[in-house]
Amino acid sequence: MGSQGSSLDALNRWVDDVARLTEPASVVWCDGSEAEYARLVAAMLASGDLLPLNEKTNPRSYLHRSHPSDVARVEHLTFVCTPSEDDAGPNNHWMAPADAHAKMDALFAGAMRGRTMYVIPYCMGPIDSPIARCGVEITDSPYVVANMRIMTRMGAPALARIEREGRFVRGLHSTGELDPERRFIMHFPDELAIKSFGSGYGGNALLGKKCHALRIASHQARNEGWLAEHMLIVGIENPKGEKHYIAAAFPSACGKTNLAMLIPTEGYRKAGWKVWTVGDDICWMTPGADGRLWAINPEAGYFGVAPGTGANTNPAALATLRHDAIFTNTAITADGQPWWEGLGEGEPAVDWQGRPYAAANGPAAHPNSRFTVSARQCPSWAPESEDAAGVPISAIVFGGRRPSLVPLVFEAKDWAHGVLVGAAMGSETTAAATGAVGVLRRDSMAMKPFCGYNFADYFAHWLSFDKPGAKLPRIFHVNWFRKDAEGRFMWPGYGENLRVLDWMIQRVEGLAVGEDTPIGIVPARGELNTEGLAIAPATVDDLLRVDIDGWVEELNAIGTYLDGFGARMPGRLKAERQRVSHALEAAAERREERVA
């Protein structure tokens, strides 16, 4: 598919094949224009697929309600279809490609009768960026078209790039009958193809999102020598006007969006610090000619979780949502404003299912209710988000929700150690009903549900970037969630997290010495800026303390976890775990000698 003619011919042939299979009433090629969007919205308002919100408070904003059985990702119905099951790995559900195609094609047969089939050419990333990649989604959902217009660079420019390049990810989607028994999301990494049936929800239906940007792209990135990661990208500008870009991966409920849109506290703001949001969810990184990793946010919008987003937690997100937004499964107030738990203002009148709000029915907004909005509306949006070259990454941050053991921040000794830190990350759960508190769920690089191939091969791919001439980012781990003996959070979090990023930048610039420990480098006493913070020096010491005995157990558990991925696990990662284990054991021995 090299020449222009053949690439468009291939696209046209595929569209014709899909139309023959699905039998739509009509086929519409989307151009991404304002007029097209206005027509789609008008049609959805007329059909009831969208409800208008208060035009004074939320101009050009709408509410969509999913079917109650279709409100979240469905990991157990999500498959990676590689010729060999080993290539998908124990981290994915697998189905043989031929079986998956047969199953999906039977579902798609006649599925679009009486419906419009939309053809959506889109680009993930700035339209001229060499790091960006294109796709075409075919769908029968106008809601998907409207959301893809916000989330991607969609329409004529993307089609022109597909003509030039001759390659694209093929995504086929139909809402079907929204029957949970007939719902599957299939990925064919070797074919750069996705088939999704039976869901109209977010990531199951907006195929540019997790399906393309992570599951397919991670496989593509491995073959082509780059990284497709579930990471935010934030720019930190110091008082000298120097900018450092940080990529960070956190499992859900660990403050990812809050960090991406971090607002400096008054002291930092007055000193001249600024924070710029490049991306809130996905980061594609590739080695540049200078040896550094350069990153783009492949998305053009935010598909964010609404509950918990409020004036105290994320004022930037709230400001972003004031106009031109689509809300999914939130509640509404009596005067037609969107509402969710944690908003901190107003009262719900109608819940997410359209019923008069009653506390007995559960939360007013679905816990996974969402907003879709253009990234450009964010007050801290970084103009560099449109740079074709991307932004250079100074630091990669991993994190999780760990009430004990893991310090507030530590730096990996080198790249291989950093890969181990990322592979081992996870969050502890609380399950008061059964009394099982502190069950640790590991979510390597926050990619467990999204890596499109075997995790062991994925770790090996990460390790492969460490080669002569590479100027790789420093790797850190953070934990905002340490608790004291009374169960209270020890660190204030939110805007104060800039203090931790400040220390990281000092490490990158060679200005902070740090203190060497067996698990990595922590801030030396006095290096973490706590000026104006109501926190006792002893608490800071506790936040940074390394519990040798606890970490010996942790490294044993990490070893068991890594062994679970079988014979493909890279020896270098196992050796790195061994190195840290030995360092901890040596530290324990030294302590015993001192006591004796």
Q: Is the pLDDT of residue 433 over 50?
A: no
Left, alpha or beta for 232 (phi > 0: left; psi -120 to 50: alpha)?
beta
- The predicted-structure confidence for 15-40, as pLDDT tens digits, reads as follows 999 999 999 999 999 999 999 999 99
Q: Is 483 annotated as a binding residue?
A: no
Find the mean pLDDT for residues 416-434: 81
Q: Is 73 annotated as a binding residue?
A: yes
How far apart CA 555 and CA 547 sit, in angstroms, is 12
Residue keyed to tokens 């999704």: 196
> Residues with Cβ < 8 Å from 361, sequence gap 6 or more?
351, 353, 355
Q: Is the pLDDT of residue 4 over 50?
A: no
Share of the chain above pLDDT 90, in %: 94
What is the reported pLDDT for 158?
Answer: 98
Q: Which two tokens stand for residue 232?
A: 């935010």
**How far from chain centre, in Å, is Cα 406?**
23
Find the mean pLDDT for residues 560-577: 97
436 pLDDT tier (thresholds 50, 70, 90): low
* Domains with residue ranges and CATH for the chain: 4-48+70-224 (3.40.449.10), 229-299+385-585 (3.90.228.20), 302-375 (2.170.8.10)
Q: Is 254 a known active-site residue?
A: yes
Q: Is 366 annotated as a binding residue?
A: no
Q: Is the pLDDT of residue 430 over 70?
A: no
Q: Is the pLDDT of residue 306 over 70?
A: yes
**How far from chain centre, in Å, is Cα 72?**
15
Q: Is the pLDDT of residue 138 over 80?
A: yes
How far apart CA 263 and CA 261 sit, in angstroms, is 6
Find the mean pLDDT for residues 66-80: 94
Of residues 254, 283, 378, 451, which has the active-site annotation?
254
Partner residues linked to 286 by β-bridges: 294
Which DSSP state fits 291?
S
What is the reported pLDDT for 312?
Answer: 87
Which DSSP state fits 519?
T
143-172 b/e with 16+ CB inside 10 Å = b? bbbbbbbbbbbbbebbbebbbeebebbbbb
Q: Is 494 annotated as a binding residue?
A: yes
> What is the secondary structure of 487-547 as a DSSP string?
S-BSS--GGGGHHHHHHHHHHHTT----EEETTEEEPPTTTS--TT----HHHHHHHH---
313 pLDDT tier (thresholds 50, 70, 90): confident
Q: Decide if 394 contacts 246 (C-beta within 8 A).
A: yes
Q: Is 369 annotated as a binding residue?
A: yes
Q: Is 497 annotated as a binding residue?
A: yes
Compute CA distances 167 → 158, 220, 285, 300, whole Å.
11, 12, 20, 21
What is the reported pLDDT for 7?
Answer: 75
How far apart CA 412 and CA 521 sit, in angstroms, is 7
State which H helix or E strand residue 437 sits in: strand 436-442
What is the torsional sign of CA 283, 503, 438, 459?
Answer: positive
227 pLDDT tier (thresholds 50, 70, 90): very high
pTM of the model: 0.96
Residue type, 567: A
- The predicted-structure confidence for 446-461, as pLDDT tens digits, reads as follows 999 999 999 999 999 9
> Residues with Cβ < 8 Å from 442, sequence gap 6 or more?
424, 425, 426, 448, 561
Q: Is 202 annotated as a binding residue?
A: yes
Q: Is 564 annotated as a binding residue?
A: no
> Residues with Cβ < 8 Å from 218, sequence gap 6 or more?
227, 228, 229, 447, 450, 451, 452, 453, 458
Find the mean pLDDT for residues 96-113: 98
How far apart CA 80 and CA 152 sit, in angstroms, is 23
Which DSSP state fits 293?
E
Q: Which two tokens stand for residue 13?
A: 């042939």
Which DSSP state fits 75?
G
Which of 407-411, 433-437, 450-454 shows the lowest mean pLDDT across its residues? 433-437
Residue keyed to tokens 């780059």: 226
What is the reported pLDDT for 89?
Answer: 97
Q: Which two tokens stand for residue 339?
A: 């509402």
Q: Is 525 annotated as a binding residue?
A: no
- The predicted-structure confidence for 517-539, as pLDDT tens digits, reads as follows 999 999 999 999 999 999 999 99
What is the reported pLDDT for 324?
Answer: 98
- The predicted-structure confidence for 535-568, as pLDDT tens digits, reads as follows 999 999 999 999 999 999 999 999 999 999 999 9
How far apart CA 453 and CA 445 sit, in angstroms, is 14
> Residues with Cβ < 8 Å from 505, sequence gap 6 or more?
236, 238, 244, 394, 395
Share of the chain above pLDDT 70, in %: 98
What 3-state DSSP class applies to 376?
Answer: helix
Q: Is 210 annotated as a binding residue?
A: yes
Q: Is the pLDDT of residue 226 over 70?
A: yes
Q: Is 370 annotated as a binding residue?
A: yes
What is the reported pLDDT for 222?
Answer: 98
Find the mean pLDDT for residues 419-437: 75
- The predicted-structure confidence for 244-257, as pLDDT tens digits, reads as follows 999 999 987 788 99
Left, alpha or beta for 405 (phi > 0: left; psi -120 to 50: alpha)?
left
